[in-house]
Structures are given as structure tokens and as C-alpha cells.
Structure 1
């Protein structure tokens, strides 16, 4: 059995611009217990996203830019093999990165499981990598009435539902989750949306309370009655 490379410090942002073809690595979390439930994971953030969700806490990742060298990031991940279970690609929108299939292959060769966070913007790109993924966290932004108001883009629900259909057909392990505040989606509409997700075959559903800043408490609590119904409808329901 090959020895694991000696521990290396996490990579730092590059001092000089990287070549234009470089993957748009926007950040790295060396260790996370929350980005893939039940897995110890490193999280690689891809910068670049065409949507402009008004509650986004990662606005610095909306514009495509290579802030970290993938070679250094990959070398760091190699030192963590055997200590972590998985690598999650997040964003931004990781499917906006043309070289994502290559990055996933690199990570798989190290022996990691691979997870993906996506808003479901690029169904064709998801189809291209789906067979190489072990888990997907799919963001559902709102119901049909409120989707475009959240994303700032027209017809934005359509690709997200196409991605959901792919996940259900493929049998890939996945979670649907929604960032929720009653000011933009009241409980009645939230429950109607969730019931439709359950009807489609979604087994894991999470409601993430909208926060004014990362780590702050949710702006408004989901009622106990709503939580009880959601627990009944899904095999796994989480309120965060």
C-alpha cells in the first residue's frame, strides 16, 4: 500500500493571475461535516454563477476567476487521503466549470467519494458527470411563482426540474434543499412545493432557514406543524 504524502498546509490564493484556461477554483474548506451529511469532506469552491439569488452569501464567487491553483489544491487533497471520506464541489455553480469532469476524475483517482452542490442550472453538464458522482445536493429555490424572483433570471425553474428528473431516473443519492424565509415563500406555498417534491419521488428534503449572515440564527422559524408534516412526507427531513 502506497504511503500517504506528508501533510501539507492548505493552498493559498495565487499572487499572480493564472492562465485563462485554468479551472476557476475560488476557495477550499479543508474539513467539513455539514456539506455532505454523514461524510467528512473537503469542499472545493468553483467560482462563476449566472444566477443572482438575492440571499446569496457567496457573492464573491458569482464572477468566474481562478483564485487558487488546482495543482496545489490537488496536492493538498492527496495528503488527506485516508483521513477524509469525500470531496464536495460547491460554488458558485460548479457545473459552470468546463473542466469539472477532469477535476472529478482527479479526485476519484485519489480514492475519494465525490459530491456536488448545484442549483440545477446546467442539465446537460450534470448528465455528463452524473455517473461519476456519489451524492448531489440540489438547491430548489422556490415554487414556480417565485423562482425567477429569487434567481434574477427568467425561466430558471425549468433547468432545475430537468436536473431533478435526471437524479430521480439515475438513482443517484441526493438531497433536495431549499433556503426559506416566509417573506418570499409562505409556509402554505412551501408545503405545497414540498408535497410536490415528495410526489415526484424525492426522499431526502431539507429546509434551510434564511440567515442575514453565515452563522446567524434563521430569520423566522418554521412552525412545528410544518416540520411534522414534512417529516411524514419524506424518508429523511432536516430543518437547519
Structure 2
């Protein structure tokens, strides 16, 4: 990991108990994203340039090895960057866990990471139902997302599906459609709904959102968990 010229990483959060289930971790934030969701909390990362190389990040991770269980790759969209599989492999050689947060647009990279056994857990963002996907993400990547979901759903790698909910962007009918999509696909994991919290600057200036509660939804037996 001596590629000191390329700088794909925007910053590192040294410690989190929230972003890797039941694990202590740091978060490596990758610069740039191929989606531009209005509610995104990280516009500076989405539009910004990388400021750290893999080599710099590895030096930090090595210094924290005995304090952390794992490393979270987030962003932006981490899977858009070359050599991410090599980077993950170097972390695995430290006997640390790797979690990937992804919008599902780069199945080839995710497949490679799974095949090379350098990822332990994946959080897949389900941005919107098909009819609203382009509007919400400012991209034409729905089919890529669905292909990635289908692949993960058939794999043995632990993964979760999650959605950020802003009431002016996703209505309850949209959430019901998304629940039905997951149920039809025989998804048996957790579907996390994260209520939008307007405490940070987002890509677009949004009004406050009405919070969704679980009793407003028919889960059809799916494990739906609302995070406030």
C-alpha cells in the first residue's frame, strides 16, 4: 500500500460505536459519489477531492489496530475507487474486520471483494423505488442497485438494507413499495429506515421532515427497524 500519489480518501473518523454493528471501528471516508441525493449529509465529501492516500490511511489504521475491531469504508461511494480491494486485503492481514457502505452501483468491485474474502459486512443503501430512483439519486443506476441486491441476497456475506427517509422525497406509499420489493425478493435481513435529521448541511436545502414510525407501515413480516 505505498501508492502515495493517489489520494482517494477525504478523511477518517477515528472511532465509532454506531457504524459497525456491535464492533468498535474507524470510518474511512472516500471522496466522490456517482449519486447526488438531496438529503445527503456529506456534500463536502461527495463534491470534494481526496486528501489522504491509502498509505496514509494504513499508517493510521495500524496505529489503532489494538483499539479497534474493524474499519468502515464509507463516503461518497467507496467502491468507485481503484485498489479498494487491495486496501481491504491489507486491513484483513491485520486481523481486522472490514465493513462496506455502498449504493450498490459497482457490483464488479463488490464481487471481487467477496471472492477475495476481504469484506465481512455490507450496508446497502436502497435509495428509492424504481419509479423515483432517478429523481432521488440524480442517476440512472437503479438496475445496478438491483443487480447488487440480488447478488448479495444470494451470497453468504452478512448485509443489511437501509433507507434515509425524508417525507418530501419518500412518501409512505413509496416505503410500502420498497418493503414489498424486499419481501418479493425473499430478503430475510433487517431493513433500516433512518429518519432524516436536519442537523447538518445537505446537498440541497430541505425543510424539516415528518418522522415515520413503524406503526404507520405494513411490514408484511419483514424485519423493519426505524432509526430516529
TM-score, scaled to structure 1: 0.83
Give runs of ≥4 in structure 1 deviating > 4 Å: none
Tell me whether 1:237 sits opposite 2:219 in the alignment.
no
Question: What is the CA RMSD across the aligned residues, in angstroms?
Answer: 2.2
Give the aligned partner of residue 144 of structure 1. Answer: 130
CA distance in 2, matches of 1:230, 1:33: 28
Give the aligned partner of residue 204 of structure 2. Answer: none
CA distance in 1, matches of 2:184, 2:220: 14
Give the aligned partner of residue 165 of structure 1. Answer: 150
Greater Rg by CA = 1
CA 63–185 in structure 1, closer or farther in 2 if over 3 Å, else same: closer
CA displacement at 1:147 relative to structure 2: 0.5
Instruction: Deviation per CA, 1:194-219: give whole Å up to 9, x if none.
Output: 1221331321110011222349xx72
- The count of aligned residue pairs is 217
Give the aligned partner of residue 199 of structure 2. Answer: 213
Structure 1 segment 36-185 matched on structure 2, within 5 A:
36-63=20-47, 65-130=49-114, 131-154=117-140, 156-185=141-170
Local SS of the residue matching 1:206: strand
Instruction: Deviation per CA, 1:43-70: give whole Å up to 9, x if none.
Output: 1011121211111111122246330233
Higher relative contact order (CA 8 A, sep 6+): 2
CA distance in 2, matches of 1:206, 1:26: 26
Structure 1 segment 180-195 matched on structure 2, within 5 A:
180-195=165-180
- Unaligned residue ranges in structure 1 (runs of 5+): 1-17
CA 225–91 in structure 1, closer or farther in 2 if over 3 Å, else same: same
CA distance in 2, matches of 1:153, 1:117: 18
